[in-house]
Amino acid sequence: MTEPTPPTPGDDGDAQRIIFAITAALLVLVVTYKVGQSDAPVQAPVEVAADAAFSPPAESTIPAGPDGDAIRRGRLIFTASAAHAGQYVGNGLTCSNCHLDAGRKADASPMWAAWVSYPAYRAKNGRVNTMEDRIRDCFLYSMNAPASKAGAPPPYGDDIYRDLQSYFAWLATGAPSGKPLPGRGFIKLATTPIGHDPVRGAIVFAGQCASCHGANGQGQANPDGSYTIPPLWGARSYNWGAGMTGLASAAGFIKANMPYGEGNTLTDQQAWDVAAYVDSRERPRDPRQTGTVESARKQFHPKGDYYGQEIDGKMLGS
């Protein structure tokens, strides 16, 4: 068999061979690329799970400069309210008594989750609230500002609000805005078949809570008037307008967080009963009450908490 005669330069055979060589080279490249692609692992887009827990930044990352100074002042106000905003605090509580671990703990109304949720409408006052409005209400009700030296919460625009909001915004670093985050607020407990009962709650309180809060619920006071353990009722506790007087809020907080450091050890029934016991004790007047207890109950306490009910022969809230 004879070999084909090579074409002379410039004839049609030469051009065809050049085209063939180029085409073959391209085919080799394409096949090589495809093989490499099929051998490489396929990586799905990275997505954060919708129910992934959010972690606030470490305190060591608070920046230097004016921003960091405001964040640190806000943290001090939050954790030692009487020492750093005392003219507006009328009881023995600090913000971190309800918002545990300096506002960091999930299921204890953490401030990183609150920050990304405002402005928001609140049925409590029937309007859209800013974060400043929300903080003001905490001073008014939870900190019982009417009994403070100032007789009222901090005025709008006060540096106290600016510092607290700086702290909250820093806690929420990296959190998605406008999206309910897991761990926000307090957990929601389903009602139990036998309901809640202060008498049963008193028994649970004596066995599970009194060692810290005292048999009479008045907490552990320090010589300077501050409290190591907060009072749960009486003149030095939150007033009747505070959110914690709502049984559902109190039960959810207790279930997830109490006894302190041993959250989720009480049964749901025990949490409801302890909430009923604590919230059926007398405490400072609801600042919104301008008429009778009964009229205030109808207007401000329609969900059946203990305000305006008779316990041990006395109408609560009077």
Question: Which domains are delineated in the chain?
Answer: 62-171 (1.10.760.10), 198-315 (1.10.760.10)
pLDDT of residue 9 exceeding 80, the answer is no
For 200-214, how does the pLDDT look when each residue is reduced to its tens digit (9 = 90+)?
Answer: 999 999 999 999 999
Give the pTM. 0.83
Q: What is the mean pLDDT of residues 36-57?
A: 54
Of the listed ranges 7-21, 244-258, 272-286, 304-318, the one predicted with least confidence:
7-21
Q: What is the DSSP letter of 142?
A: I
pLDDT band at 179 (very low <50, low <70, confident <90, very high): confident
For 223-270, how does the pLDDT look when each residue is reduced to its tens digit (9 = 90+)?
Answer: 988 999 999 999 999 999 999 999 999 999 999 999 999 999 999 999
Q: How far apart are CA 274 and CA 199, in angstroms?
A: 9
DSSP string, 37-96: HHHSPP-PPP---TTPPP-PPPGGGPPSHHHHHHHHHHHHHHHSHHHHHGGG--SS--GG
For 23-35, how does the pLDDT look when each residue is reduced to its tens digit (9 = 90+)?
Answer: 444 333 333 333 3
For 101-118, how does the pLDDT look when each residue is reduced to its tens digit (9 = 90+)?
Answer: 999 999 999 999 999 999
Of the listed ranges 2-11, 77-86, 173-182, 202-211, the one predicted with least confidence:
2-11
Contacts of 240 (CB under 8 A, 6+ apart): 283, 284, 285, 286, 289, 301, 307, 316, 317
Q: Residue 244's closest CA among 83, 99, 105?
A: 99
